[in-house]
Structure 1
């Protein structure tokens, strides 16, 4: 009897209301859901109340001035993701059958990934009739790339070390490349002719650092740990192009990504950091249902192809 009751209870649920519940789990507030789904906050609240009546259990509860999911609401929101993905798969299979990979794909990228991937990606997209890729840059010190995934189809993200927030949400991670992080020195520096430098050799130099909580800060801390001293940070910038220009002027050393720094004529040379060999992981983050779209799959294929050529 319990089995029959469960089937009966689930049948009336509306997919649109399940999507609203899932959006609340992803975005964290009724206001954010309303803005993203082009509804009023009262309309979102009404959808949630109707869904509660359909399932016969409280799905949200008050916390301060906002709403949070109950354990039952969280469980249903996770199950709703499977429903949304299945519907997206069916719709996109039919759309692909009729027209192929076409439509607009919104992509967010941090600046250095944009320099690596966008020229090739946009040229490849231009060669596909009906496919449009619209790219936007995001703040490079954004600590939680996963938080902006609901607003884009694909988000290019990077992490030095583990990125727990990428795993905490119901997202697909498409690994693209592990990019070495090198020590940038001005041309003519006494260490510039070395094949690699050690933390002990560079720890006493002035440094061009990064803003607090920027991922590279962890690497600075590792250099300090291995060298047994505190780095002297004389300037802090998030823009690698500014950092590179200051290194070239002889104002300090810095950690810079290998694929977009140290070009010939820049006045900077890059050398691997011995004992640590740091890298940053670059990945594409997206929702599971978004990955069902032929246009998005094609964009991911192009990104993988470009990443393969970087090494």
Structure 2
């Protein structure tokens, strides 16, 4: 037995109104069309559901039971419509986003604050990880979308993703306040060919960016220290151990004793990206959050 839900709902309306004619008038059908649908439902049920007489209809025991089920179906459908309207209107739901540390400490908080002020009913969860971890969470559907980054020589290029560039993040040179070039408004890498360098540890892509940039400038950097984050790198710069290269977004809080010099071209600019799997359509909440991310990126670029 397979029952047609639409016929059940129509039958429930007949039961409620007590008349095929009244139901047809209310729903803008013809009485014969309503009668045909009820007859088909009775055929599906394998038994009569209505007793027809001159003054209307009377429900059989089976018809009464089915009408009660139909009312429950109506309530559930109404609840489903209301829930979907809440999700579409950003009055409910959950949004899970991935990020990496430098953006998590710079652009992302602006977007989070704006999103929560606009849509406080949506539960926002942010997961921070290195690139490999972000890919794993995207592929496992643990997050809906993620902030990522790449360089010219290692573009993110996969057929199963959608990539939306948000901003360019140019690098800067970090030198001690006591460095002879600390007072300059900008500098070139070649000016620091004889300086010891502080780089990122564990084969971090920024270490590759430094090596590539120095080679392009005609020298091999002398590595004096390998730092595990940019705060550690800044501390070593302030102590005078060496100079360092860092993305601009990593410099939201510059340590005392460190001078930041904009780097003259050519420079290894990284792209800040918003990435999602191509087979996943963004929810209304994700679309709204992406807009706030674009606004935050534009504001950060302008500043």
CA deviation profile, 1:170-199 (whole Å, cap 9, x unmatched):
111121110111111111311112222222
Query: CA–CA distance in 2 between the matches of 1:153 and 1:285?
Result: 9
Alignment of 1:74-93 (within 5 A): none
What are the within-5 Å matches in structure 2 for residues 25-174 of structure 1? Answer: 95=84, 99-101=88-90, 102-127=92-117, 128-139=119-130, 142=131, 145-150=134-139, 151-164=142-155, 166-174=156-164
Q: Deviations over 1:2-30 (max 9, x none)?
A: xxxxxxxxxxxxxxxxxxxxxxxxxxxxx
Larger Rg: 1 or 2?
Answer: 2
Note the C-alpha offset of 1:210: 1.3
CA-CA distance at 1:292 after TM superposition: 3.0
Number of residue equivalences: 217
Q: Does the CA-based 8 Å contact 1:199-1:226 persist in structure 2? A: no
Q: Shift of the alpha carbon at 1:264?
A: 5.8
Match of 2:186 among 192, 196, 204: 196
Hey, what does 1:302 align to over in structure 2? Answer: 292
- How far apart, CA to CA, are the structure 2 residues paired with 1:283 and 1:95? 30
Contact 2:137 2:143 in 1 (8 A): yes
Residue 269 of structure 1: aligned partner:
259
Offset of 1:307 from its aligned partner? 0.4
Deviations, residues 271-301 of structure 1 (Å, cap 9, x unaligned): 1222413311111111235443101101101
For structure 1, which runs of at least 5 residues remain unmatched after alignment?
A: 1-90
Are 1:171 and 1:288, in contact at CA under 8 Å, matched by a contact in 2? yes
What TM-score results when the alignment is normalised by the length of structure 1?
0.63
1:176 matched residue in structure 2:
166
Contact between 1:125 and 1:132, CA under 8 Å: does it hold in 2? no
Using the alignment, how far apart are the partners of 1:309 and 1:115 within structure 2?
15
Query: If the length of structure 2 is used for normalisation, what is the TM-score?
Result: 0.64
